Amino acid sequence: MTVRTIKVPNLQRYRIRTSDTEYVDDTNRFLTFLQKAGPEFTVRPLAVRSSYITALEDCPRKFFFQYRCGLRRRGEFAFALEVGTIYHAMMRGLVEGKPLSGALQGASQELSAKLEEWKAMADENYLLPDGTPMENLVTNSEKAFSLAKVMATRSQGAFFGGVLEGWVPLLIEDPIEAKVAGVTARLRCVPDAVYRRESDNALMAMDFKTHTGPTSNRAAVASFEIQPRLERLCLRACFPDSKLKFFLHNIINKPTLRYTTYSKKYKTYEDYLAACDQWYDDQALKDPSNPPLLQSLMAVLGPVMSSEMAVVVREAAFACVSLPNPAAFVRRSRFCFGPFKNTPCPFLKLCSEGMAMWPETIERNFVCRFREDDEKGAIHA
């Protein structure tokens, strides 16, 4: 048997030498694609965010399509259908010091503005680009709002107690950007809230977490997540005279009860909401050590930029500012159908097609919109 050794070019991840013929060909094809796709489609250098790091670890190709190219499927109406997003809007109002009625009204106005945007996309038959009737979207949004209202009402009493005594809000969902030595891209985060204690100029970052698992497990995992560590880096750079001492994670379970149109258990959706409200009391009595609402206060310890954190951030920074060569962002097939193998990746068709087909596919199935476009200006360091 003859064994042959294949010489592989010395390539650095996400940065390929310009002397490599394959790199030049791929880049030229991609730039041609950009010109054909239209002026609204761009590849933009990004600031490093925790969600970008997570996406990059899961599948670099998906990160490239979703974040570097800003692709979203037409008819993707996540805001209207995600209870967690509406719940965060309500909690923002409470952090601002509004009464519960004012917080609910503010979230309702945000949702109405989104619905008006999508209404403008509907055709003369009130069908959205993906064929969804506008009436269905409005109905689902109202249901999501009602469930988020139950969660926010419960949260009001549980998450705004004595732990905040002596602390005053400094930032409320304000984007923060910072430049860190040795990292090629800026860092960006959007804490739900940052509080300052005037007695010693200390800072405390607050994040609201919604999920369906045990709250105690969620609190334990939070200390290892990239999000609080990235927030710490940004806050240290933007407020060098203050010291971040705590992370406050307000964790709430989404009710595990399910409602369907043909449900025999709940005659109306109002009955279902009442059952969800009672569910919180039942769960707290069932397992007092693992309540459905948990406020976890975590002290900030260790170096601001550990060696492990430096490796993660620097690799993500390369991906966020590298040249737009899709061949450098590999596809990880185990994520093509989601972690549970039941949710196809929205970019699966692009991965299976040649680059020559991308302009037509994108024009038909996607819109280009970057996350930063929906956010207010960042506080820079």
Identify the CATH number of the domain in which residue 196 sits.
3.90.320.10
Assess whether pLDDT exceeds 70 at residue 22: no
Domains identified in the chain, total number: 2
| Domain match, 320 and 295 both | no
Q: Which residue has the tokens 């592989």?
A: 8
| Domain match, 242 and 316 both | no
Q: Is residue 211 part of a domain?
A: yes
Q: Is residue 141 part of a domain?
A: no
Q: Is residue 202 part of a domain?
A: yes
pTM, 2 dp: 0.84
Determine the structural domain holding residue 66 and report its residue range. 40-73+312-376
Own/partner pairs, 156-165, CB within 8 angstroms, 24+ separation: 156/94, 156/100, 158/250, 158/252, 158/293, 158/295, 159/91, 159/208, 159/250, 159/293, 159/295, 160/94, 161/295, 163/248, 163/295, 163/297, 164/195
| Domain match, 294 and 186 both | yes
| Domain match, 322 and 233 both | no
pLDDT digits (tens, 9 = 90+) for 192-249: 999 999 999 999 999 999 988 888 888 888 877 899 999 999 999 999 999 999 999 9
| Domain match, 208 and 295 both | yes
| Domain match, 245 and 318 both | no
User: Of 277, 299, 321, which residue sits at a domain end?
Assistant: 299
* For range 91-112, the mean pLDDT: 94
User: Mean pLDDT over all residues of the chain?
Assistant: 85
Q: What is the pLDDT of residue 9?
A: 43
Number of H helices, E strands in the chain: 13, 10
**Helix (H/G/I), strand (E/B), else coil: 106:** helix
User: Of 299, 331, 366, which residue sits at a domain end?
Assistant: 299
| Domain match, 168 and 249 both | yes
Assess whether pLDDT exceeds 70 at residue 4: no
| Domain match, 168 and 211 both | yes
| Domain match, 294 and 192 both | yes
Q: Is residue 209 part of a domain?
A: yes
Assess whether pLDDT exceeds 50 at residue 27: yes
Q: What is the pLDDT of residue 344?
A: 85
Q: Residue 167 pairs with which residues in a beta bridge?
A: 197
Assess whether pLDDT exceeds 90 at residue 295: yes
